Structure 1
Amino acid sequence: MTADHVWRQIEQLLATATDRVILVAPFIKKEVFQAVLAAVPAGVVEITCVTRWSVSEVAAGVSDPEIAELAQQDGRAAIRLCHNLHAKLYVADGRCLVGSANLTGKATGRVPAANVELLVEVGTNHPEVQRVLAAVNASAVPGTVELAEQIREQASLMRDDEDGPRVVVPGQDEQPTRWLPETRNPERLYRAYNGRHRHIGSDVLAGVLRDLAYLDIGPGLDEQAFGSEVLAKLHSMPELHALTAAGRMSLADAQAALLASGELTAEQAQRTVETIAAWLHYFDDVHFVPTGPWEIRQGKELA
C-alpha cells in the first residue's frame, strides 16, 4: 500500500463520475482541492463542495478559504459552508467514500509524514449518507470569494495579534481560558464579522476580533441571526445564570463573583461587568434599574 493510498481512493472514485460530485470535508487545502477538480471528468457539470471556514482554523493553517477562487475559475463547483461540520464523505453519482480523511495533504498522503486515515465505500443511497447530506443542505450557506477574503483577512489579523487568544482548532483543542467580553462597543461586532471594519481603530479592532474568535460564530449569517448566536453565548456564561434563572441580576453581585474567581482586579471586574451590561443592552431585551444596587432585568422597562 502506498503512502498516498487515500488520495488514490478519492481519485479513482472521482474518475467514475458522469453526473455529479459531492465533496464533504471540514478541512480543505487549496493544492488538494485543485487536484480534486482536475480528477473530475470534464463531462461532470455539478460539483458541490461542503466545508467550514472558522477564522481560528484558517489562522492555524488547516484550511484554505481560497478554494472559493478555484471553484469560481473551474465554473462547475459551488462552495457551501456548514459551521458544525465534522463528517467526511465523497460522492460520485451512486458511489460514496466515507471515513476520516479531510482534503488536506497529510490526510490524503500527498505530502510526507501522512496521517493514518480510513475511507470505505458505501452506496450514496445509504441512510446515514442521506441523513448527513440532508442536514448539510438544511444548514449550509454559500462560500463566496468575498467571504473567503474576509475570513482570510481576519485570520491574518488574529495571527498577528500578540495579545490574542492562542490559535486553536474548535472541536479539537480547548480554549485556554474562559471568555469574558472585551470590546466596549458591541455594535462593532457585526461590522467586523462582515468585514466592514475599515473605520475601526486598530487597537479597538483587535479586541473586537478577539471577541469574535472566542464566540466562534459560523460565517454568512444576517444581523438578526448573528445577534441570536451572540446572545446564546452570553447566556451560557456562569456570571449570567442569575439573570437567566430569576430574570434579574445585581451588577454588584456579578462584580463580586468575578472578584471571587481571583482572575481580575477590582477595576477589571467593574469594567467587565459594565461591558457585559453593554452587550446585554445591545443584544438582549433587558432594562436597568438604578435603585439600590444597580440591576439588569429581563424585559422592556414599563413607562
Structure 2
Amino acid sequence: MQHNWKHSYRCIDGVSTTTNDKSRTKFYINATSAQSHESEPEGYGTQSIWKSTKDIMHTLQKLSVFYYFISLLMGMLSSSLLAVENLSDISPKFFVGLLKYIIPIIFVYLYAMIINQLADLEIDKVNKTYRPFASGKISYKTGAIISISCLIMSFGLGWMTRSKPLLWCLIISFVATTGYSINLPLLRWKKSTIPTLVSNVPAMVTSTYVAPFLHMKTYVFEKTTIFSRSIVFTTIVMSFYYLVIMLMKDIPDIEGDKAAGLRTLSIRLGPKRVFWLCVSLLEIAYGVAIIM
C-alpha cells in the first residue's frame, strides 16, 4: 500500500498517469486493504488470542513484581518444612495446611504491591515507566478495585481458616504496607529510612518465616510452639537480607524520590555509600551464618 501511494504520480512507460489511472490505483489500494481484512490467514485468531494472553501475563508479572513473589513462595515453603519433625509429617495434611496459609498471603501481597504502585504513581512515571499504572496499561480505578478485592479475599480466607498465626500475619502485613504507602497524616512511612525499616523488615520476616512456622506447628500439626534453633537462625539471617532489600531498592529510584520529597538513605548518603553498606551487611549475615 505504501509503495502504491508513493508511486501513484509516477510516469508509466513514459506516459503521465491519467486521472483514470489514479482512480484505478486508488481502487486497487482500497480493494487490497479490504481483501487483507476479509481473508485473514488460517490460525490468525489463535495467534491473536495467544498474543493477548501473553500481554496480560506480562502485565501481571510487572504488577506483582514476580521475582519477589517467587522468593516469597520459597521462603514460606522452607520455613514450613522447618516445622516438620518426622518424615510422616509430610502428608496430604501438610500440603493442604500449607495452601491454606499461602493463598491468603498471596492476596495480601498483591494488595501491598498494587496499593504501593497506586500511591507512587507520579514517582513511577519518572522511575519505573514500565509499570502498568505508570504506563497506562491499567487505570487507577481498576487498580483500586483490584487492591480492595485482594484485601477482602485475604482476610476472608484467613477468617475461614481460623489460624491465629495466619490472622496475626495478615493484620501485621496490612498495617505495615498501608502505613508504608498511603499518603495520610502519620502515615507514608517511606518518606524516611528508619520508619521504612521498622515497618517493613519485621513484617516481611514474620509473613515469610515466623508465621508459616507457627501456622504449621499449632494449626496443622497441633503441637506446642517451640522455637527451634533452625527457625531462630533463619529469622536472624533473613532479617539482614530484608534490611538490605529495603536499603538497596532505593538506589535506582533517586530522581523520582527527590522529586516526590522523600528522604531516603540513598538521597542523604549517596548511592555508592549505600551500595557498599548493603554489601557489608550481607557479608556480616553470611559470615554469621557460616560461623553458626
Q: TM-score by structure 2 length? A: 0.26
| Structure (1 or 2) with the greater helix fraction | 2
Higher relative contact order (CA 8 A, sep 6+): 2
- Specify the structure having the higher radius of gyration (Cα): 2
